[in-house]
Amino acid sequence: MRLTIVGCAFMATIGPALAEQPGFAKPDLVLQQIIQGLPKDDKQAVRVLSASFKPGDKTVTHTHRFPVTVYVLEGAFTLELKGQPPITVKAGEALVEPPHVEMTGYNRSATEPTRVVIFYVSTPDTPFLDLLHH
């Protein structure tokens, strides 16, 4: 962990200089967003999940206890948050799902699959989602 923090600090300080040098990979910023609701415990659990949606597939109606970041690898992902217009993100884009908001995710395409990677930081042993029954 310490090496990762030191490495990130090192890259942040000399990153612009390295970006100009051939042979060095430079990360591209996909999403930066100020969020609230991350766990404040001494320890957190980090989960990275993947999900594939066939054309027309959707998630169950649910909430999350902490923010969830979704990165779209392929296709398009539409998120409906209660009381808000739908949000659609395409391959190479990301969004943050807020905590404690009723939501359903969709692949609205009739022909193309959708693949996503999901990043979730929570208190240990917290369920990934809470089902809502209507």
Residue 12 lies in a domain: no
Cα–Cα separations (whole angstroms), residue 127 to 14, 47, 62, 130: 39, 11, 11, 7
Residue 8 lies in a domain: no
Distance CA 5, CA 1 (A): 6
Distance CA 62, CA 45 (A): 20
Mean pLDDT confidence for 56-63: 97
Structure tokens at 33: 């967003």
* Exposure class string for 53-82: b at 16+ Cβ within 10 A, else e: beeeeebebbbbbbbbbbbbeebbbbbbee
**CA dihedral (12, 13, 19, 22) positive or negative:** negative
Residue 19 dihedral angles phi and psi, to the nearest 5°: -60, -25
Residue 49 lies in a domain: yes
Query: Domain of 76?
Result: 33-131
Residue 96 lies in a domain: yes
- For the chain, the domain total comes to 1
For residue 4, pLDDT beyond 90: no
Q: What is the CATH number of the domain that holds 81?
A: 2.60.120.10
Q: Which residue has the tokens 């917290």?
A: 126
Residue 20 lies in a domain: no
Residue 52 lies in a domain: yes
Residue 79: pLDDT band with limits 50, 70, 90: very high
Residue 119 lies in a domain: yes
Q: Between 19 and 106, whose confidence is greater? A: 106
Residue 79 lies in a domain: yes
Q: What is the pTM of this model?
A: 0.81
The reported pLDDT for the residue numbered 25 is 92
Interior CA angle at 97 toward 91 and 98, to 5°?
A: 160
- Report pLDDT digits (tens) over 86-134: 999 999 999 999 999 999 999 999 999 999 999 999 999 999 999 987 6
